[in-house]
Structure 1
Amino acid sequence: MKKQYRVGQHIKVRVTGIQPYGAFVETPDNTEGLIHISEVMDDYVHNLKKLLTPGQIVKAKIISIDDTGKLNLSLRDNDYFKNYERKKVKRSVLDEIKETEKYGFQSLAERLPTWVKQSKKRIEDTSK
């Protein structure tokens, strides 16, 4: 017997597959669903496989139920993914300039070698 689900309900689901556009999931009573990539977190998600893996169990919120009973889910209310957004590595040298700018203006020529080193290090770190 299938359980009755309602929009807004939080449920635990198991990830059964991952595609570039989202993750397929299943409830304990074998009801199928999809977590679209745009519903994982508020930030841009480039690669869903870095956040979810098949077999993983996550708590998701039901955002809609289609005519066939399949669930459309969201992870945006999930505390783990909210915290993940906050922990993300800085994506731009400009973010670092705003945080570290304490001594006034330095010319671009003076700062350029430091920026190049930082960028090369980030490229090396991400290629590992």
Structure 2
Amino acid sequence: MTKQYRVGQFVKVKVTGIQPYGAFVKTHDDREGLIHISEIMNDYVHNVNQFLTKGQIVKAKIIGIEDNGKMSLTLKENEYFKVRVDKKKRRSILEKIKETERYGFQSLHEMMPIWIKEAKDRMNNE
């Protein structure tokens, strides 16, 4: 008896192959699917290999099922990948420097203690 899958359901899948456009996956009962590169996270993904590896098992949400049974899946609602997005949203010190209107050693001297405190706070919160 084959398991019935439905759109919106979360399933554990194993990555069976990686291509530049996404990752091929299989369920435990050998149902095939694809996680398109645009469905890995909400942010731009340049390389699928940075997020997924062959043999990795991930929890994905079914967003479509074709007539032949193949599934389209997303990782955007997977908590692990959401955390990675949140980490990417943190701005680096260099981005903050670029936003300041004043440049030079005096502005760096004024801002350095603030940046050091922010970095220490982030390290303590992780």
Q: TM-score, normalised by structure 1?
A: 0.74
Q: Check 1:18–1:91 CA distance in 2 against 1; reply closer, same or farther (3 A cut).
A: farther
Whether contact under 8 Å (1:43, 1:85) holds in the other structure is yes
Q: Find the counterpart in structure 2 of residue 124 from structure 1.
A: none
The 4+ residue runs of structure 1 with deviation greater than 4 A are: 89-92
Tell me how large the CA RMSD over aligned residues is.
Answer: 2.2
Unaligned runs of 5+ in 2: 109-126
Q: How many residues align?
A: 105
Identity of aligned residues (%): 60
Q: Is residue 124 of structure 2 the alignment partner of residue 106 of structure 1?
A: no
Amino acid at match of 2:54: P
User: TM-score if structure 2 supplies the norm length?
Assistant: 0.75
The one-letter code matched in structure 2 to 1:25 is V
What displacement does 1:97 show?
2.7
- SS in structure 1 at match of 2:46: coil
Shift of 1:87: 1.3
State the alpha-carbon separation in 1 of the partners of residues 52 and 79 from structure 2.
15
Distance (Å, rounded) in 2 between the aligned partners of 1:31 and 1:91: 42
Report SS of the residue matched to 1:96: helix
- Asked if 1:13 corresponds to 2:13, the answer is yes
> Does the 8 Å CA contact 1:2/1:31 hold for their aligned counterparts?
no
Distance in 2 between the 1:38 and 1:25 partners?
Answer: 15
Q: Per the alignment, do residues 52 and 91 of structure 1 end up closer, same or farther by CA in structure 2, a change over 3 Å counting?
A: farther
